[in-house]
Amino acid sequence: MNGGQDSEVAGSAGPPPPLEWKFSQVFGERTAGEEVQEVDIISAIEFDKTGDHLATGDRGGRVVLFERTDAKDHGNRRDQERMDYPISRHPEFRYKTEFQSHEPEFDYLKSLEIEEKINKIRWCQTANGALFLLSTNDKTIKFWKVQEKKVKKICDMNVDPSRAVGNGSVAGSSISTNLKPYVANGGCLDRSDNYLSNDFSFPPGGVPSLHLPMVVASHETSLVPRCRRIYAHAHDYHINSISNNSDGETFISADDLRINLWNLEISNQSFNIVDVKPANMEDLTEVITSAEFHPTHCNMLAYSSSKGSIRLIDLRQSALCDTHTKLFEEQETPGSRSFFTEIIASISDIKFGKDGRHILSRDYMTLKLWDINMDSGPVATFQVHEYLRPKLCDLYENDSIFDKFECCLSGDGLRVATGSYSNLFRVFGCTAGSTEATSLEASKNPMRKQVPTPSRPSRSLSSLTRVVRRGADNPGVDANGNAFDFTTKLLHLAWHPTENSLACAAANSLYMYYA
């Protein structure tokens, strides 16, 4: 998956063995019976490019940052990897800081409330030891800088330290407030000394000189988040995606009908590069569901639609990219169309592989892996919710069929992952011949269980029948044999960019696993 040569080597050696996932840590764990507040539910999660920082956003508009601790304990991690130094500890993170990114707003022109929920977070390039990231709600994108600053303190005062308070003022009232006026050179117009209070005493030998208070930087540091720019008033519809460009200067934001291109330094204008809005809204047949820049080619990006298609566009072709370079979609099986066909075909998330050659897409029922050099169909299809097919009517009634699950790829491109119901998430091997299909529960006891799922697209009728039959054997249970729970769903997860480590968001809890 990392190029032709690597793929051939992997193919000749056979697929890698399935990973053994272990629990690492949890943040915000709920106690039994504890009610989850709506504002605390995690709505976005993202590792930075190094994997040393992790950011989460919640429905209350807050962004929480975590930093890796085990890499610091072992010195420079990259040097150790170069020396083939064995790293004994699994990845560990700790809480770093949090800040309020978005507040609830009201659009008076449209009489609409704009909720503060964070839809997406994307890390930007670091500079001078500061962290930069983009966060967005439905309408407004913000560019944040988080930097460590030394705490400044006041010292060198002419007062007894035991009688001074933290800001440098004298405790109590050692000096009377009834002070006489002073002239410019510091002399007093009234030479009488009765302006000093009774409890003020000169040190032995008098005061040789007046020490002015000095502000000095201490060894203590505090993290200061600062909003550098606000990109607003550019979307009529809800923003569903933001994505950084590899050039480090621009990013895109996408809503249901348009994709805009921004420069990080310019917040008052953007360029509309994709517009699928028809002249008559009654002719609207599909909307944009997700968009992402290519990881290395700054002129290429992909976006998905509610009809299950992915379009690859090249910014060099024209200023308005309404025509795509390539179209990726799977042809509908004759006779399989139903009322739910278009709903479950809608793609909720797409991700480029690190190599830039593959795109992973997630629709309601499946994960699909596409090769950008092959637009005839996906190179692999992974059944995620096939067991729910008999329940589509119930899922439609309770709106669960519209849930938007995210997906992610491992840094080496050998595996893919996505979430499901009952706080489960699935990990599939995507190399040739791999049958790895692991289901885990987001808890301290993941209860790993293998699910025999074909990792390649099943083209024969017998294979298709077998896949559907497996899901329909017991429609009341999930892949782990438990009754599935539509109220607990794992929508958001992220794969560490260089290691087999996963971060999963289950309601207000952040679970981390390693293999």
> pLDDT tens digits for 377-389?
999 999 999 999 9
Count CB atoms within 10 A of the CB of residue 16.
14
pTM attached to this predicted model: 0.78
The strand ranges marked E within 101-254 are: 105-107, 112-114, 120-123, 131-136, 141-155, 214-231, 241-244, 250-254
Confidence of residue 172 (pLDDT cuts 50, 70, 90): very low
Contacts 24+ apart (CB under 8 A), 258-264: 258/288, 259/288, 259/291, 259/301, 259/303, 260/234, 260/235, 261/315, 262/141, 262/231, 262/234, 264/124, 264/143, 264/229
Distance CA 297, CA 305 (A): 22
Conformation bin of residue 71: beta by default, left when phi > 0, alpha when psi is -120 to 50 = alpha
Q: What is the DSSP string of 215-238?
A: EEEEEEEEEEEEEEEEE-S--SS-
Distance CA 485, CA 161 (A): 62
Count CB atoms within 10 A of the CB of residue 409.
23
> pLDDT tens digits for 103-138?
999 888 888 899 999 999 999 999 888 999 999 999
Distances (CA, A) of 15 to 12, 259, 454, 455, 463: 9, 39, 14, 11, 21
User: How confident is the model at residue 71, as a pLDDT?
Assistant: 65
Tokens of 473: 């054997």
> pLDDT tens digits for 291-336?
999 999 999 999 999 999 999 999 998 888 888 999 999 987 777 7
User: How confident is the model at residue 167, as a pLDDT?
Assistant: 45
59 CA to centre of own chain: 13
